[in-house]
Structure 1
Amino acid sequence: MRVWRIRADQDMGRSSLIFLVTVLWPVKCVVISTKEPLGSGSCTDYGQVFERTYSIPGEVVILECPLLHNFPDTPYNVTWYDERGSEITELEQSVMLKKTQVWFFSVTMQQQGKYTCEVRTVNECYKQATGLVVTEMTSENCVRPQWGVQRISAHVNDLLVCPLRRYLESVDSPSIQWYKNCELLQEDEKFASNKDMLYIRKVHHDDAGFYTCKLTFRLAGVIREIAETIECDVKDEYLMKPRVIEPVNEIIKVERGSSFRKDCVVEVHGKGILLVEVFWKVLLESKAQFISLNTSHRVHQEPMNESRTENGYRIVRTLSVSAVSEEDFYLNFTCLASSSRGHPTGQITLVPADPNLLLLLGLLLGSVALLFVTGVLLCTTFKVELALSVRTVFPFLYKTTDGDGKQYDAYIAYPRVLEGSSKKAEIFAMSTLPQVLEGQYGYKLFILGRDGLPGEAVVDVVQDALSRCRRLLLLYTASSLCSPEAQDWAEQQTGLYQALVEDSMSVVLLELEEIRQPLRLPHAVRLLKDKQGALQAWKRRKRWAFWDGKSEERVTSLEPSARFWREVRYHMPVRGKAKQRNWFSF
C-alpha cells in the first residue's frame, strides 16, 4: 500500500510549517527524458517515480499508471511491463487489467519489483516506472511493515483519514472498518466512522497508537481486502478559529482632508504555531483589492503587531489614511483574518462628518432606482452574455463537475438519416457541433455513431451513455423529426424517451430549421418546447433555410450566429473550480 513515515522533531521559525501527512501526491524523479526503442516505436522515458507501493503477501495490490494526468482529453492506450520487460496480460488468474490499473489479487514476494506503464497516443509514446515492495508482516501487534503518521490535537474533537480512500471509486461495494491494535473499533461516544474517516471525540493522550483501516470490497464475485496502518500522534497544541474583535461593521464619520487610523484586532485562543495572516482590503469596481503595504502611500496598512495573551495570541493591524479624500467615502474597508480554521472579517465604511441628508437620500434613492432599472435591462437583454462572463471570470463561484460520476458534458441525439429526410441534422451533429463545442470550448460530447462500440444494441448504448452525460442536446429539422418514422425512432430510444418525458436530465432543443407545422413534432418534444423553448439556429441565418446541400465544403463552413452558440454554451454544464467539502460537525 502507498504509505510513508515522516517525523519532524526540530522547531522551526514562523515562516516554516511542520506537516505530517499520510498520503503524498506522486513525486517524479528528476531525470533527463530519453527515447529508446520499445515495441513498434520509441517512448519518452520519465524514469521511476519516487513513491512506492507497499503490501504484504496475500493482499490485493492496485498499481496506478503515474502518467495519466498528462492526457486529460487525448485518446490513449495503456500497456504494462514487468521488471524483465515482458508485457503483463490477464493470462494469469491472479492478475487483472482494469482501465489504467494493474490488480494483483493475492500478491506474493516474487511479484515485487519495478513495473513500467507505457502510454501511447496517436503520435506520441511515454513511459514511467513505479515500484512494488512486498514485505512479510512480523509484528505481533498488527503493525504493518510500513505506515504513515497522522497527528491529532488533544482536548478537542479530531479525525484520522484512511489512506485507502483513493481506491473507493475503483472497487465495487466498498466498506471500511477501523482497528486499534488489532481490536475492531465500535461506534460509541468516543469513536464514529463516516466513509473514509474516523472521528475521535475529546481526544486524550491515550488515543495515541496504531490504527488500521481495512477496505473490504467485491471483485469478480469474490470478497477481497486491503489494509493500511496509521501511527497516531496526539499533540497538546491546538489553535481555535480566529475572532475579529474589531471592527464589527462600523460606519465612521470623518472630515475631508483629515488623517484616519483604524486598528483591526484579532484574537486566537489556544497553543501552537501561529499561522494567521491579517490584512486590509477594499472593494473597488466590484473587485477586492489589498491595501498597499508601502507606508509612503496615502492609504496603506502597517505591519502586523503580534503579542501573546493568557489564552493565546492577539494580532493588531492598522489601516492608515494620511488625508481622507472624497473617493474614500462609502467604500467597504474589510479586515480579513486568514487561517486554516476559517476566514472571519470585519468591515468599516467612511462617511462625511456632516452630510447633507436630503442630498444623500436623493442620491441613494436615485442610485438604487438606476441600478435596478439598469440591472433589469441588462439581465433581460444580456442575460446569456452576463452569465457566460461571470462563469469565465469567477469560475470558483461554481462547483466543479469533477467527481459527479459523469463522463460526458452532453449526449448529442438526432434522428439517423431516414429515407427521404434531410441530412442537415446529421451533418450538424457529426461535424459542426463537435468543431465548435469540443474544438473551441473543450466540452466532451457523446455522439451516437461516433463514440459507441460497434455491434452494441442501440437501446443499451443510449441508456448507458445518457447515464454518463450531464445534458441531452436534441437536434432536429422539419424533415428529420416531423415524419412518422422519426417519431417511431424517438420512442424506440428508451433512455431518450425517459429523459424527454420523465424530466430525468436537462434537455436542450436545437432547432436547425423553422418548424412551420409544430403539431407534427413528437408529443414529448412538443411539450418540452412549449415549456422551455428551443434554441433556433435558423434565425438571422437565412442561407440555412435556402441551403441546397450541393457542396460538402459549404455544409461544414456554414454555422449559426454567434448568439446561437452563446445560448448553447449558456445551457451547457458550468465547469467551475469550487470543490465540494464535507466537514464533520460535532
Structure 2
Amino acid sequence: MGRSSLIFLVAVLRATECAVISKETLGPESCKDYGQEFDRAYSIPGEAAILECPLEMHYLFNTAETAYNITWYDERTGSEITELEQSIMLKKTQVWFYNVSMQQQGKYTCVVRTQSECYKQATELVVTEMTSENCVRPQNGVQGINANVNDLLVCPLRKYLKSVDSPSIQWYKNCELLQEDEKFALNEDILHIRKVNFNDAGFYTCKMTFHLAGVVREMAETIECEVKDEYLKKPQIIKPVNEIIKVERGSSFKKDCVVIVRGNGFPMVNVLWKVLRGSEEECISPNTSHRIHQIPTNESRTEDGFLLVQTLFLSAVWEEDFYLNFTCIASSSRGEPTGQISLVPADGNFFLLLCLLLGSVALLFVMGVLLCTIFKVELALWVRTVFPFLYKTTDGDGKQYDAYIAYPRVLEGSSEKAEIFAMSTLPQVLEGQYGYKLFILGRDGLPGEAVVDVVQDALSRCRRLLLLYTAASLCSPEAQEWAEQQTGLYQALVEDSMSIVLLELEAIRQPLRLPHAVRLLKDKQGALQAWKKRKRWAFSDGKSEDRVTSLQPSARFWREIFTSGAQLCV
C-alpha cells in the first residue's frame, strides 16, 4: 500500500469530514476532494469572522519538509479569494472577515498545493441576525459545571488569541457585564465561578476585542452553561495507613483497603493492590486461584459519597512475604493516594535480635579500644584541657611535678636555644594549655640553694625528665662538666631510674662529643630531633634565622613529645 493510500484512509476516518473523495476540478488542477467539514463558523453582521482551513495537513504530508501554499475559493462564484476584496485578509491558514455581512454567508473551499499533489475541503460561514432580547447569539456551545464546588467556563475564542494583536476578553451573563467579585474571578479566557449553585446556569458570552489591520475589531461567542448536581472530590484512603502487621507463618491473611469518595455522581476511581519485590512493583492478581490475590471491589453509597473496599488476600503467608511493602492505590483523575502495609513474623526472632545486640556491643567496644589506642594522646590532652582541675594534685604516687626540665645553663660561647625553649615555649604549651606542672631549674628553685641539692630534691618529686640540648650547649667540655656535677641528673641518666626524653634542638654533627651517659641513652631509645621540624615551631625574629621564640609549636611536634618514652600525657 502506497503513502497516498494511507493518507486517504486516515482522512476517511476523521469524524469531522465527509467520507466521499472524488476528483473535481477547481481552477486548472485536479484536486483530491475531502468534501465539506461538518463544523461551521457562526457570526453576526458587523463582527469579525474567521474561517480556518479544515484540512489536517500533517496527515497528508510532512509539513516541515514539503513546500506548500494555500488558496481560498468562494464556491458560489468559483473565484479565488484575494486581499484585494474589501474587508478580507488572508493570514496563514485562515481567512479573516473584518466586518462580516449577510452577503458573505456561504461555503468556502481551502485548496492546499504541493509540488506534486493538490487537496481541497470546504467549510461554511453562517451569518445570522441576532434578535434575542437577552443578548443570546443565534448559535452557542454548551459547557457543564458542577454544583457545590468551584468550577470554570472556557471562552471558545481562546484559540484566536495568538492570531491577533492586543486581545482583551470581557464576560457577560445574558446582557450584564461581569466584574471581579466574591462570585466570579476573571482570568482572560477563563471564567472562574466560586461555590456553584443552580442559579449559575444560563447563557454566558465572552467578547474579544482586538486590533486587526490597524483597526479595533470585535467577535464573540455564547456558551450555554448547565449546572450538574454531580461532583467528586479526591479519594481518601481510610485504611491502611503505613501499618506493620504481625502474622503467623503459614496462616491466611486478608486486609481491606477502605476508600471514601465524597460527592455526587459515578465515582471514576480504580482501587488496586500492588507489591514491591526488589526494585520491581507488581500488581496483585485478581485471580482467586492464586495464593496472593485481590477480591473485586465492593462499592456502597454513603450519606456524602461512596465507600470502596478492595481486599488483599493471602491464603498462606510464606517467609518470602515478610518485610515486603504491600501498597493500596486509589487511582482517579483528581489524585492517587496510597496506603501501605508490611508483614512481620508474629513470634519474632529473639535469638537473632540478641545476636545483633551483642554483636553491636562488641563492635562498639572494639571500635572504642581502637580509637583510644590511636587517639590516646589527643584524648588525654582533651581531658586535661576540659578538666584541668583533675591534674592539680598528684596521681597518688607522691610526685609533685609531671616533668623535670633540664638544660645546660648558658655558658660562654654557647647557644641560647635550649634556655629560650625551656623557659618560654615549654611553659606556654605544657603548663598554659594542658595543665602540666613542670620543674625548671633556675625558675622554681629557691635562691641560695646548692645546685646539687636542688637537682637531687627536684628529681625525687618529678615523674620524668626532659633533657634539652644543642650542639653548643652540651658538647663543650664545660657543658659535660656541668652535667656530671649535677649528681641527681647524672644518676638518672646512668642508672635509668626514671623515664627520660632527649630533645635535640639542632643537628649534632659530632655525636661523640656528647656526654657518655647521653650517648648511651640516645643509642638505646633515640632522641626527638626538633631541628628536623624547625619550620613548624620556630620563626625568624629578623635578626637570626635560628633563634627559637615562644611561638607555640605545631600539634604534630607536640605529639612526638607526648608519645615518646616519657609518655607525658599518661
Q: TM-score range by the shorter chain?
A: 0.5 to 0.7
Structure 2 CA distance for partners of 1:90 and 1:335, relative to 1, 3 Å: same
1:289: Cα distance to partner? 4.1
Counterpart position of 1:73: 64
Which residue among 283, 290, 294 is the counterpart of 1:297? Answer: 290
Shift of 1:127: 2.1
Structure 1 residue aligned with 2:37, among 41, 49, 52? 49
Cα displacement (A) at 1:49: 2.0
1:86-235 paired onto structure 2 within 5 Å? 86-235=79-228
Q: Secondary structure at the residue paired with 2:82?
A: coil
Q: Is the 8 A contact 2:170 2:188 kept in 1?
A: no
1:274 aligns with 2:267: yes
Give, as a single letter, the amino acid of the residue that structure 1 aligns with 2:31. Answer: C
SS at 1:214 equivalent? strand
Hey, what does 1:564 align to over in structure 2? none
CA distance in 1, matches of 2:43, 2:325: 56
**1:187 Cα deviation from its structure 2 partner:** 0.7
Deviation at 1:329, TM superposition (A): 4.3
What's the secondary structure of 2:162's corresponding residue? Answer: helix
User: Counterpart of 2:305 in structure 1: which amino acid?
Assistant: G
Q: Which residue of 2 aligns with 1:29?
A: 17
Answer whether contact 1:332 1:349 (CA < 8 A) is retained.
Answer: yes
Query: Which of 292, 297, 304 matches 1:311?
Result: 304
SS in 2 for 1:110: helix
For 1:474-485, list aligned pairs within 5 A. Answer: none
Per the TM alignment, residue 257 of structure 1 is displaced from its structure 2 partner at its CA by: 3.9
Aligned to 1:463: none
2-side partners of 1:59 and 1:107: how far apart?
6
**In structure 1, what is the Cα distance between the partners aligned to 2:131 and 2:257?**
57
1:179 is paired with a residue of what secondary structure?
Answer: strand
Q: CA deviation at 1:256?
A: 4.4
* Contact 2:18–2:36 under 8 Å retained in 1: no
Q: Distance in 2 between matches of 1:360 and 1:217?
A: 77
Deviation for aligned residue 1:342: 2.4
Per the alignment, in what secondary structure is the counterpart of residue 337 of structure 1?
strand
- 1:468-479 matches, cutoff 5 A: none
Instruction: State the Cα deviation string for residues 7-55 of structure 1 (Å, max 9, x = none).
Output: xxxxxxxxxxxxxxxxxxx842351333444445443222222211111
Q: TM-score, normalised by structure 2?
A: 0.55
1:259 to 233, 252, 263: 252
In structure 2, relative to structure 1, the CA distance for the partners of 1:303 and 1:110 (3 Å cut) is same
Unaligned runs of 5+ in 2: 1-13, 358-570
Kindly state the Cα deviation for residue 88 of structure 1 after the two structures are TM-superposed. 1.7
CA distance in 2, matches of 1:122, 1:329: 69
Contact preservation (8 Å) 1:258, 1:322: yes
Please state how far the C-alpha of 1:185 moved relative to its aligned partner.
0.8
In structure 2, how many angstroms separate the alpha carbons of the residues matched to 1:350 and 1:44?
A: 67
Letter in 1 for 2:69: N
Residues 216 and 263 of structure 1, relative CA distance in 2, 3 Å threshold: same
Residue in 1 that maps onto 2:341: 348
Contact 1:45 1:126 in 2 (8 A): yes
Change beyond 3 A, Cα 1:287–1:214: farther
248-257 or 160-169, larger mean C-alpha shift: 248-257
1:143 aligns to what SS in structure 2?
coil
The code of the aligned residue for 2:163 comes to S
Q: Is the 8 A contact 1:27 1:49 kept in 2?
A: no
Code of the residue aligned with 2:21 in structure 1: it is: S
TM-superposed CA distance for 1:145, in Å, is 0.3
Cα shift at 1:105:
0.9
1:95, 1:284 → 2: CA distance? 66
Q: Compared with structure 1, are the counterparts of its residues 38 and 342 closer, same or farther at alpha carbon in structure 2 (3 Å cutoff)?
A: same
Contact 1:27-1:51 within 8 A present in 2 as well: no
In structure 2, do the counterparts of structure 1 residues 184 and 259 end up closer, same or farther at CA, with 3 Å as the change threshold? same
Q: CA deviation at 1:323?
A: 3.1
Matched position secondary structure for 1:348? strand
Closer, same or farther in 2 for the Cα pair 1:41/1:183, shift >3 Å? same
Give the 5 Å matches for 1:492-571: none
The letter for the 2-side match of 1:264 is: C
> Structure 1: which 5+ runs fail to align?
1-25, 362-586
Instruction: Map Cα deviations across residues 324-359 of structure 1 (whole Å, 9 max, x no partner).
Output: 345544443322222233222222334455365599
Identify if the C-alpha distance between structure 1 residues 243 and 79 changes in structure 2 by more than 3 Å, giving closer, same or farther.
Answer: same
Q: Percent identity?
A: 73
Aligned to 1:83: 75
**Quick check: 1:81–1:87 contact (8 Å CA) kept in 2?**
yes
**TM-superposed deviation, 1:192:** 1.0
The CA distance in 2 between the partners of 1:273 and 1:172, in whole Å, is 44
1:218 is displaced (CA, Å) by 1.3
Q: 1:60 & 1:321 partners in 2: Cα distance?
A: 68
Contact kept in structure 2, 1:37 and 1:43, CA below 8 Å: yes
The alpha-carbon deviation at position 79 of structure 1 amounts to 1.9
Contact 2:276 2:326 (8 Å CA) reproduced: yes
Displacement, 1:81?
1.9
1:549 match: none
Cα distance in 2, alignment partners of residues 359 and 39 from structure 1: 94
After superposition, the C-alpha distances for 1:185-235 in whole angstroms (9 at most, x for unaligned) are 111111111121111122232222211111111112211111111122223
- State whether residues 74 and 121 of structure 1, in contact with CA within 8 Å, keep that contact through their aligned partners in structure 2: no
Paired position in structure 2 for 1:557: none
Distance 1:96 1:138 in 2: 28
Matches within 5 A, 1:343-492: 343-353=336-346, 354=348, 356=352
Cα distance in 1 for residues equivalent to 2:251 and 2:330? 28
Hey, what does 1:519 align to over in structure 2?
Answer: none
Q: Which amino acid letter does the alignment assign opposite residue 114 of structure 2?
A: T
- Could you tell me whether the CA contact under 8 Å between 1:157 and 1:203 is conserved in 2? yes
Q: CA deviation at 1:178?
A: 0.5
- Compared CA separation, residues 271 and 325, structure 1 to 2 (3 A): same
| 1:339 paired to 2:332 | yes
**Change over 3 Å in CA distance of 1:60–1:282 after alignment to 2:** farther
* SS of equivalent residue, structure 2 residue 296: coil
Secondary structure class of the residue paired with 1:150: strand
Q: How many angstroms apart in 1 are the aligned matches of 2:335 and 2:266?
A: 16
Give, as a single letter, the amino acid of the residue that structure 2 aligns with 1:205.
Answer: F
**Matched length:** 336
